[in-house]
A and B are shown apart, each in its own frame.
Chain A
Amino acid sequence: MRKFRFIFANFWLKVISLFMAIVTWFYVNGEIVKLIKP
């Protein structure tokens, strides 16, 4: 179990940053699609 302890270190920081990454990716892609197909 010790090997996997790094997963739970700063757990909420990882969750929030993953959420932000997904939201950013979809938002930016939406904007790119709008530019390509206005």
Chain B
Amino acid sequence: MTMSTIFYNSSLLFTSHWRMISEILILWFVFYRIMLFLKDTKAVYLLRGIVILIIAFFVFQKIGFDTLNWILAKIFAISVIALTIIFQPELRQGLVRLGQQQLFYTGFREAEAEALIKEVCTAVDILAQAKIGALIAIQREIGLKNYIESGIHLDANISSEIIRSIFVKESPLHDGGVIIAGEKIVAATCLFPLSDNANLDRALGMRHRAGIGLSEETDAVVIIVSEERGVISLAVGGRLTSRLSKNDLAIILKGLIKRRKKK
């Protein structure tokens, strides 16, 4: 065997190993992200059922149970369509998350963000002290047009007084959520999708579920004030952070909506 053959064979081996490892790593990443995404949803139970069916399929194949194998093969052939229907909400959310990898989101301008945070935090703090429920969504990269259309169009400048007057119980606009986009309060009485996360605290009311629901479907930052306890919460990416003070809220909001400085 000449040196060139040895080199060729070893480089081939290295290349194939390199490819194998890369492919497995990519597959690992994809599977991990899918499992992480499905972790706290109802879909995980469905997935368990599917995994059991797949294992059964391979076991039947090994043992040679041809009839059962044939039936499962037919079920799998039909299940491609069934799965897209069953996992439709998860698929939609997954594609939205994939598309919202914040490549183009630049955030609010410094002054714009400061003013917004100051007005919103002041309003929320006063509402919490008075135990008046509130639901405020701040639009980021993903447009909230669908939800804006479900409410009453306002197009008002952001001020704590306007926010407070919207949520006062006597106000005809107090039901539903307020949406802030850019420098404007664009709509009130907006309907947000309710979260169907089974792991949420049962004590959480519809307002919290709506806030979490919107943050699951979009990248919006949602502030929720509970009517019963006067607690300020923040929902981002389907996760709820509760018992925030005015200052906590301001700090978190700064990090979430301010324009990132170029390094």
**A interface residues with partner B (beta carbon < 8 Å):** 10, 13-14, 16-18, 20-22, 24-25
Contacts and interface: CB of A to CB of B under 8 A. Distances in A.
Nearest to B31: A17
B23 A25 contact: yes
Contact of A25 (B20, B36, B39): B20
A21 B39 CA distance: 18
A18 B35 CA distance: 11
B152 interface: no
A14 B23 contact: no
Interface of B: 20, 23-25, 27-28, 30-32, 35-36, 39
Contacts, number: 30
Per DSSP, chain A at the interface is helix
**A-B pairs with lowest CB-CB distance, top 4:** A21-B27, A17-B31, A21-B28, A17-B32
B36 A21 contact: no
A15 to B, nearest CB: 10
Contacts of B28: 17-18, 21
B24 A22 contact: yes
Contacts of A17: 28, 31-32, 35
A22 B31 CA distance: 11
Given A10-B36, A13-B36, A13-B39, A25 B24 contact: yes
A16 B35 contact: yes
A25 B27 contact: yes
A31 B94 CA distance: 29
18 contacts: A10-B32, A10-B39, A13-B32, A13-B35, A13-B36, A17-B28, A17-B31, A17-B35, A18-B28, A18-B32, A20-B31, A21-B27, A21-B28, A21-B30, A21-B31, A22-B24, A24-B27, A25-B20
B247 to A, nearest CB: 26
A22 B23 CA distance: 9
Given A10-B32, A17-B31, A25-B23, 19 more contacts: A10-B36, A10-B39, A13-B32, A13-B35, A13-B36, A14-B32, A17-B28, A17-B32, A18-B28, A18-B32, A20-B27, A20-B31, A21-B25, A21-B28, A21-B31, A22-B24, A24-B27, A25-B24, A25-B27
A26 B36 CA distance: 23
Nearest to A29: B20
Contacts of A25: 20, 23-24, 27
Contacts of B35: 13, 16-17
A13 to B, nearest CB: 5
Interface centre among B27, B36, B39 (most CB of A within 10 A): B27
Contacts of A20: 27, 31
A24 B28 CA distance: 10
